[in-house]
Amino acid sequence: METMRFTKLWLWIPLLLVATAEAQSLEGCLNKCGDVEIPYPFGIGVQSRTGRNCSLQESFELTCNSSTSTLLYGDHPVSNISVQGGHLDISMSVSKVCYNQPGVALLNPQSLVNNPSFAVSSVQNKFISVGCDTLGIVQFQNNRTSYGGCVTLCNAPPQQDLNDKTCSGTGCCQVDIPVGMRNITVVASSVFNHTNVSDFNNCSYGFVAKQNWFNFSVDYLRDFPFDMVPLVLDWTVSDHTCHAASTRSDYACTANTDCADSDDGFGYNCKCKPGFDGNPYHPDGCHDVDECQQESANNCISKENCRNTIGSFECFCPPGYSGNGTTAGGCYPPLSKNPLTMVFTGISIGLAALFMSMSWLYLVSQKRKHMKQKEKFFRQNGGSILQQQLSGRHETSLAVKIFTAEELKRATNNYHDNLIIGRGGFGTVYKGFLTDKKIVAIKKSKLMNQSQVEQFINEVIVLSQINHRNIVKLLGCCLETEVPLLVYEFINNGTLYDLIHNKGKSALVTWETRLRIASEVAGALSYLHSAASISIVHRDVKSANILLDESCTAKVSDFGASRLVPLDQTALATMVQGTFGYLDPEYMQTNQLTEKSDVYSFGVVVIELLTGKKAVSFERPEEEVNLAMHFLSYLKQGHLHEILEDGIINNENKERVKEVAMLAARCVRLRGEERPSMKEVAAELEGIKMVGDQLGVKRELNLEETQTLLGETSKFNEYGDSIDHGNRVWDSITDHVLIDFDSGR
């Protein structure tokens, strides 16, 4: 009896060790703060006996508020630490802006302290904005600064168009968090200063919160109840990969553990090997799990048929029985004592023979099935419609080619990641090499709505006929895949965004080159609006969508957001989309898409060319975040030369620079009806470009336009600064708040 008791006690010892190891701190270190356990590699202070740090590295040092028994990471309360998952649950303040009267804001941005060992979990969090006039912005740091966010508007009173628990864009909106973001700043702001909804909603809120934690309620628009929200951080050890860290003396993974690199390539995590449990960072390592004592951990028919091994288990049958002791196989007497076994054996042999005889039929049918699937996708994606349109056309300008799926698969080495040259909200772009050695750009779009097949084919036909030197040429398409593929000419010299904002390159870009690029882009957009067979609105004009070839010739690209405008329509109602910083503010209010939306975006590009500044940047002071508004403010004050990029303006070109600046200001007017058409813009830029200073032609500023934009007639010095400081009447441009950040696709 004593032996049996000792044996049973011995079986429970590994389970007890596992239970204590999972939440174990180093010896002599605080194991808990309040109700929250503190497992190593996290810790507080130093060991009482050795003086060694209780945490693995400085970034895992926590504090405990003894008066409130609250565990803190920096200033943020900690509610849970997951060693196996690599997660840290914390609380973060809500960012809000409240207007105690229309136009007077009390701003409260919130930041999370930058720590390279921690990233905001992209799987377990969402960014959420709440309010009836709210622009929620989240800034991320991961080697570079990125921005995201969303806009939510609603009518008054809100009950007419809102539903509780539905965060779908009216009163509440939410977006995903990118992978690997190591520092965030959340800013809640307003589009219209709450002037239209201040009687029931005078505050905007923005926050990052744990997935599925937040349930929207209409009551939150009047009284938002949360000051703090929970979110989840992913944490990693060191800044090395598993391969590099395993050779170092400070390698964190202990006995019976595996190492896993983080998803974004920064640092690693340790995990217990299969069949082991505990704390993979603790010096004692992970301990063997006795799967035989846990029914859910083994598939043996009983405990008596289970034998524990290091890291695993074995199922067996008693002596004199056959089988494997598992629930699937079981145990049964020898063949001579079990006649049914012969029946089962015969059935097994018959099934095996049937399987072998059917295998060759499967192989033969696979190729036929694959061909039928390609034919299905071809019809589903409008291949028959495209062939009919091609057969009925004889124009020499129609050069669209229908590629096969195999051609493009070979051209991209089966769509290898190394050949990705761009990603966006509408798809991924690959660099491809055709069999005739021609280099192309292949765009793999997202799934297409089947109700739009005919429209998609019409767009392919129209875009393939565009033959303009400043527009990227559509060469053809492939319709044999589930997602249609588009093939464009390949442009090899980067984007205008890179040229302007790379300081090493921008210093070499002369005024003449900038003016020529602006004129080329204007000509291309004018062609799309008025010279194409069907008017085309681009809808996402920005410097990142303007490519440059080896001679620095501009090529307008990325028609993923574009739409064809029928001749009997002047506007299209659409969901709000585009790139913040370039987005037409009138479009945000009305959802009416017009050609003047492209004019506004083009005006922002011209201002980028003049100033060398980004369209939106939260690294600048608050009043300078939106470039268009910042530029107009300087123009209004008569300080044009102060905002221009160094080296652009001189005595020879100052008149032309001022004319281009005034033209850009007209393009970014708030009301679309006050903006010029792209045809007018292209003609004016071409005229400015042709009138060179070497001919001694001095163009005078258009006084009427100056009055419209800047109030009373102003006088300028030789650098474009106003020398008339009297009162001026400012037009509707400053009467509204523009969207002031760029989320880029």
Specify burial of residue 342 (Cβ count, 10 A radius: 0-12, 13-18, 19+).
exposed
Map out the domains of the chain with their CATH numbers. Answer: 87-235 (no CATH), 383-489 (3.30.200.20), 496-735 (1.10.510.10)
- Three-state DSSP state, 422: strand
661 neighbors 699 (Cβ within 8 angstroms) = no
> pLDDT at position 399, please?
62
Beta bridge partners of 639: 721
Q: Is the peptide bond before 157 cis (omega within 30 degrees of 0)?
A: yes
Which residue in 540, 584, 598, 731 is the catalytic one? 540
Residue 401 assigned ligand-binding role: no
> pLDDT at position 721, please?
43
Q: Which amino acid is at 675?
A: R
Q: If we measure between CA atoms, which residue out of 508, 580, 503 comes closest to residue 544?
A: 580
> pLDDT at position 334, please?
67
> pLDDT at position 218, please?
87
Instruction: Print the SS3 string covering 265-334.
Output: CCCEEEEECCCEEECCCCCCCEEECCHHHCHHHCCECCHHHEEEECCEEEECCCCCCEECCECCCCEECC
Specify burial of residue 712 (Cβ count, 10 A radius: 0-12, 13-18, 19+).
exposed
CA atoms within 13 A on the CB side of 664: 28
Q: Decide if 199 is catalytic.
A: no
Q: What token pair was written down for 144?
A: 């570079």
Helix 654-667 to helix 703-710 angle (10° resolution) is: 50
> pLDDT at position 32, please?
92
What are the C-alpha distances in Å from 39 to residues 14, 36, 387, 577, 670?
19, 10, 66, 45, 57
What are the C-alpha distances in Å from 669 to residues 190, 478, 591, 686?
20, 41, 17, 21
| Angstrom distance (rounded) from CA 278 to CA 288 | 9
Q: Is the peptide bond before 41 cis (omega within 30 degrees of 0)?
A: yes
Q: Which amino acid is at 428?
A: T
CA 659, distance to chain mean position in Å, is: 38
* Residue 246 DSSP class: T
**Pairing assessment for the beta strands 401-402 and 474-478 based on DSSP bridges:** parallel
- Running along the chain, 745 residues long, what does each successive block of 10 average in pLDDT? 38 40 76 93 90 91 91 92 92 87 54 76 92 88 79 74 77 88 85 76 90 90 91 92 91 94 88 93 92 89 90 89 85 64 76 83 80 82 76 58 90 92 77 92 75 70 83 89 87 90 84 94 93 79 91 85 53 54 82 85 96 90 88 91 89 91 94 93 92 46 39 40 36 32 34
> pLDDT at position 256, please?
93
Does an H or E element contain 692, and which? none
> pLDDT at position 631, please?
93
> pLDDT at position 433, please?
94
524 neighbors 546 (Cβ within 8 angstroms) = no
Q: What is the DSSP string of 616-680?
A: B-TTS-GGGSBHHHHHHHHHHHTBHHHHSPTTS--TTTHHHHHHHHHHHHHHT-SSGGGSPPHHH
> pLDDT at position 161, please?
59
